[in-house]
Amino acid sequence: MGEVLEQFFILVGLLVCLVYLVKCVRFSKCIFLRFWKVLPRSFLKSMGQWAVITGAGAGIGKAYSFELARQGLNVVLISRTLEKLQATATEIERTTGSSVKIIQTDFTKDDIYEDIKEKLKGLEIGILVNNVGMLPDLLPRHFLNSPDEIQSLIHCNITSVVKMTQLILKQMESRRKGLILNISSGVALFPWPIYSLYSASKVLTPYAVSTPMTKYLKTNMITKTADEFAKESLNYVTIGDETCGCLVHEILASFLGHIPPWVFHSGAFRKLLLACYVDYLRRNAALGPPRGAARAAGVAPLAVAAEDRAARPPGGPPEPEGPCHGSST
């Protein structure tokens, strides 16, 4: 009996060592990317002539559109706001020489995909970037106090990924090549108090990226600009089935992965998260987006509203809706 237990524990130990060895190898690929595998410049273009990007009017989607066009692909921009699409398309054509098609649609609806399918007919699509997404509300709040936009959020953050993949995967399969990038969020990897609705709908997982949806977070070592993130993340497409898109976000995910789950579920963590968020709103009350973009209005009142909303008990009386729900479309 003793020998059997000894063999069992040896086997368990070997399996644990193997798991950590695989993790170390994967992490080393992120650090020493150029030594493991350098993507030739022709790799992305070899997937097909066209790339389709959802939520391409601003933020990460817009950055991917420019980066893929620079890599030599023609791009199809799909988003909600026609003016943004037209401006982005004109700039891409002028700066890269790539062909651009635009499709105006609202991903919070579920009856849009036949029209998209018809407009994509005849294109050799090699890359699909499922980027479109929305926050149910910028302000943190309990799930039971969330606004009545759950169906719209599901259509935008979840249904769009499934439907767009279903539309395009068939032709990729027939050509036996293609690349699909599903842009999620780092908050999907861990319990995220007072943002549970958004994190549950986002289950490529980046962390902080400065975009219109995040109200142009101040960039630093961890917070990337959309252009920086899009450019760096395309080098990580062969790392594995899931990636945070850049080295600093991989390090952050690894660190957070060692924190016990009960910490994320604790009331202290929720209060800390809320305090940081309120402090961020107050510090940025007088700041606007970079490069002359429109100033984020009403940020100071949002700090007070954030404290009030998050303090409400789950299932409490509904509060009046504000105008600050965000979308990357």
For residue 210, what is the DSSP state? Answer: E
Which of helix, strand or coil describes residue 253? Answer: helix
- Pair 323, 207: CB distance under 8 Å: no
Catalytic annotation present for 277: no
- Token digits for 88? 């982005």
Helix (H, G, I), strand (E, B) or coil at 53: strand
Q: Which of 113, 198, 207, 277 is catalytic?
A: 198
Report residue 169 as tokens: 């995967």
Which residue from 192, 231, 227 is spatially nearest to 210, judged by alpha carbons? 227
The answer to whether 307 and 281 have CB atoms below 8 angstroms apart is no
How far is the C-alpha of 250 from the C-alpha of 286, rounded, in Å?
32
Q: What gap in Å lies between CA 69 and CA 98, rounded to an integer?
A: 6
Catalytic residues: 198
